[in-house]
């Protein structure tokens, strides 16, 4: 499976290192916060990552199981446990070496962060990060599934004081904020803040105004299946199929999202 972490920054994604067309390391600049399922992780706020955040992406070299899929026995076998000095070689050439302090798991028991001290991150002889008195938090994930603007957890940033500078052009028709509003409505529904939201209305507006957006339809698909609204789920799945036909490069991302829902529920419409 592909573990999905939400990385949001009011700065920018400064750099991305790729190998064979796949990202193996990303770096943000500016205040950043880490969230999982739209909730900021404890100790991973903008004060912790005030100047940015960087992390490798992918599997360890020569190991056919992703770190997030490793059980306790696997982690022990590969010496990934608290108090141990490790040198982790990732596919593509990123190396992370240091002493493991602790790990952060989600409710399913999967590791989503590993915290190091005395850590050095290198690539092709170049030092990407080196901790001295600070700790290094390495995000765990086999691949980047998607990336889009905005805060996963609105409490992460002081959005009241953040305004577009004169050099930043706002998208025509304020489309960016309109799309974010649709995402926010579904977040509010999912979190129980506003259960009167019409998911059908959001879906229809999404199809009409943002026909190539696939991530929100996947979220709506999951909600529809979970609420036994199978006719609605089938309609969403057909729309996702049309997006795949128009944008073949998005096919594997959409299939991954739908696949996660299919693993979670047994009543997914075909």
Q: What is the largest CA-CA distance in the chain?
A: 56
User: Do 112 and 139 form a contact (C-beta atoms < 8 A)?
Assistant: yes
Write down the residue that tokens 């592909």 correspond to.
2
Residue 206 and residue 109: Cα distance in Å, rounded?
34
* Entry pTM: 0.53
Structure confidence at residue 8 (pLDDT): 44
Structure confidence at residue 49 (pLDDT): 76
Region at 156 (left for phi over 0; alpha for psi -120 to 50; beta for the rest): alpha
- Cα-atom radius of gyration of the chain, to the nearest Å? 20
Structure confidence at residue 12 (pLDDT): 55
Walking along the chain (270 residues) 10 residues at a time, the average pLDDT comes out as 41 72 84 71 73 87 88 87 93 94 78 91 92 86 58 46 35 59 84 86 92 87 90 94 87 79 73
Residue 222 and residue 236: Cα distance in Å, rounded?
10
Query: How many Cβ atoms are within 10 Å of 79's Cβ, its own excluded?
Result: 12
Structure confidence at residue 7 (pLDDT): 45
Residue 214 and residue 243: Cα distance in Å, rounded?
7
């Amino acid at each position: 499976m592909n573990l999905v972490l939400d990385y949001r920054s009011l700065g920018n994604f400064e750099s991305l290192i790729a190998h064979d067309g796949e990202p193996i390391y990303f770096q943000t600049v500016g205040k950043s916060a880490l969230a999982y399922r739209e909730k900021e992780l404890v100790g991973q706020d903008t004060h912790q990552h005030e100047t940015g955040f960087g992390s490798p992406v992918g599997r360890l070299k020569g190991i056919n199981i992703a770190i997030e899929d490793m059980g306790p026995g696997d982690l022990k076998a590969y010496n990934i446990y608290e108090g141990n000095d490790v040198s982790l070689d990732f596919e593509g050439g990123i190396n992370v070496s240091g002493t493991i302090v602790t790990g952060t798991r989600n409710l399913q028991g999967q590791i989503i962060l590993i915290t190091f001290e005395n850590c050095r991150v290198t690539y092709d002889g170049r030092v990407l990060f080196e901790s001295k008195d600070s700790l290094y938090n390495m995000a765990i994930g086999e691949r980047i599934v998607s990336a889009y603007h905005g805060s996963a957890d609105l409490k992460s940033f002081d959005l009241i004081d953040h305004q577009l500078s004169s050099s930043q052009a706002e998208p025509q028709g304020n489309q960016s904020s309109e799309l974010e509003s649709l995402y926010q409505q579904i977040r509010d529904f999912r979190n129980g803040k506003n259960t009167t939201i019409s998911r059908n209305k959001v879906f229809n507006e999404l199809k009409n105004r943002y026909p190539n957006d696939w991530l929100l339809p996947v979220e709506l698909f999951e909600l529809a299946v979970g609420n036994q609204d199978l006719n609605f789920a089938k309609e969403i799945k057909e729309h996702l199929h049309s997006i795949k036909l128009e944008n073949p490069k998005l096919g594997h991302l959409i299939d991954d999202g739908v696949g996660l829902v299919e693993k979670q529920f047994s009543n997914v419409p075909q």
